[in-house]
Amino acid sequence: MAEPFAPGRPIVVRHTRGGRTFLVWTANVVADTEELLALWIPPGAPCLRPRVRDELPYEQKLVERPWEAPGVLQLWPVGAAHAIWLFADAWYVNLQEPFRRTPHGVDTADQLLDLVRTQDGEWRWKDEHELANAVGEGFISEHEAAAIHAEARRVIAADPFPTGWEAWEPDPSWELPGLPASI
């Protein structure tokens, strides 16, 4: 493992595909171990997002839109093709490529399909139309889409909830992370 990120360190998370960056946000490192990278995205953290929310992100110009409340704790299992986002009323599973470390933080690629699990154990698929559109437009292959669905089914079968992080609170001394001059 590369040198771990220190708790509280601000990092940049870039989502890239085909050499293009299509989403960027900043976060504070909560924990960085051989098994897990935990990140905190506070409200107001700088983000670069696609201009139009309901279209495929890969071909759009990015605009600055800060992270909106609430903040979110993200748990990124090392080597896994997903991250778990902890919200007060539900757990969210973001399907994404396993992360790769960079000098400024980590790179991954959102896979568009997501899962939501309520506190009472109900699973719901989210954004299936976005993945279908990406396949239809040729941004994601049928083979990649099948692998994304398989990862979602693995997460559902493993049901990693509760995570043990539900009572975690951010360190109030952490500063709002910022974007570096070049990303």
Annotated active-site positions, please? 126
Cα separation, 117 vs 156, whole angstroms? 9
CB atoms within 10 A of CB 145: 17
**Which two structure tokens, joined as six digits, stand for 79?**
């080597």
Please state, in angstroms and rounded to a whole number, the distance separating the CA atoms of residues 11 and 108: 13
126, 135 contact by CB (below 8 A) = no
Bridge partner residues of 116 (DSSP): 92, 124
Give the CA diameter of the chain: 46
